[in-house]
Chain A
Amino acid sequence: MSDAFLSQTITITSDGEEIEAYAALVQDTAPRGGVVVIHHLPGYDEETKEIVRHFAALGYNAIMPNLYWRDAPGASPDDAAAAGRAKGGVPDERLVADVAGGAEFLRALPNSNGKVGVIGYCSGGRQSVLAACSLELDAAVDNYGAFVVGTPPEGFPLKVKPLYDLLGDLSCPLLGLFGVDDQYPSQEHVAELEGLLTEHGKEFEFHNYEGAGHAFFAVNRPAFRPEAAKDGWEKIAAFYGKHLGA
């Protein structure tokens, strides 16, 4: 079995339109699962592309749609992210379409076993849950996504809504990784989400890391916490191994 993979920028179809995406595709022919990576608000950046390649190194085909492509086609990723930010972020319907396009691409690969997971960080954590409540997927990972549940602070100019109405539609097991010191989501938010998923009879696995706050996976940011990130990656590998395996 070969561990070679090909990583490159490609286009995928989302809601009938072509958008840019970054893919890392395993070259071995043995059937395997796929992962759609949702980047964080600052954009389709080098660090998140490294996460895509990491999934290929773990043996999964992986793809990251450029969520800001429609805001500024062809612009550099940071300029496109600024254009998206000025518009208040990525609309939920568009996010779901982009993840659906990524999942469809992965399932059509010759070495796909038909299973697709989704993962997101920060704003992408909420979007991972949103996608898993809107699409038929096989595993979802929420890394410290704010406003899956919870009431925004008074006067907060939130352009996205909590997902209370959608949680009953969660289509797959959910892994949640959170920092105990995070305020959004706080430990109260995490507990509330646990309670709601239990009420809905959904399968989930949550881990809360002491000494870590928001964005503890982000290797290029002061919030990086190597111990939490290392353990988190092990949890992700085990979770996808269980749910995306052949």
Chain B
Amino acid sequence: MCTYIVEKVSTEGSGKGPDGWFAVTDTTVSYDHPVHASAEHTLNIDFLNPGKGASARVAVELTAQSARELIAAIQRTLEQVPPGL
């Protein structure tokens, strides 16, 4: 089924889309049917800049297990950063 589960967060950074780099201002996270991944539902992350149009988007569709491993890798990476850096 379509879950319609979506979380949104403001974001500061950059992403590389089909037309090159752009400033990322927003991120949406959803758990729903993917467009491309071979799974019925995936954890989908869209890094966006709505001010530049719907095509200013870097998209990933991850299995739930891959998404959890990514979260852990992000956490481990951030924990290794020296204080104040």
Contacts and interface: CB of A to CB of B under 8 A. Distances in A.
Interface of A: 40-43, 45, 71-72, 75-76, 78-83, 85-86, 88-89, 122-123, 146-147, 156-160, 182-185, 214-215, 221-223
Interface string B1-32: 11111101000000000000000000010101
B57 A82 contact: yes
Contact of A184 (B1, B39, B50, B53): B1
Interface of B: 1-6, 8, 28, 30, 32-35, 38-40, 44, 46, 48, 50, 53-55, 57, 59
Question: What 10 pairs across the A-B complex have the smallest Cβ distances?
Answer: A72-B54, A184-B1, A146-B1, A75-B54, A79-B54, A123-B2, A41-B2, A83-B54, A86-B28, A42-B35
What DSSP secondary structure best describes chain A's contact surface? Answer: loop
B40 A85 contact: no
B7 to A, nearest CB: 9
Contacts of B3: 156-157
Contact of A89 (B1, B2, B40, B46): B2
Contacts of A80: 54
A158 B4 contact: yes
Contacts of A221: 38, 40
A85 B34 contact: no
A79 B55 contact: yes
A157 B29 CA distance: 14
A118 B14 CA distance: 43
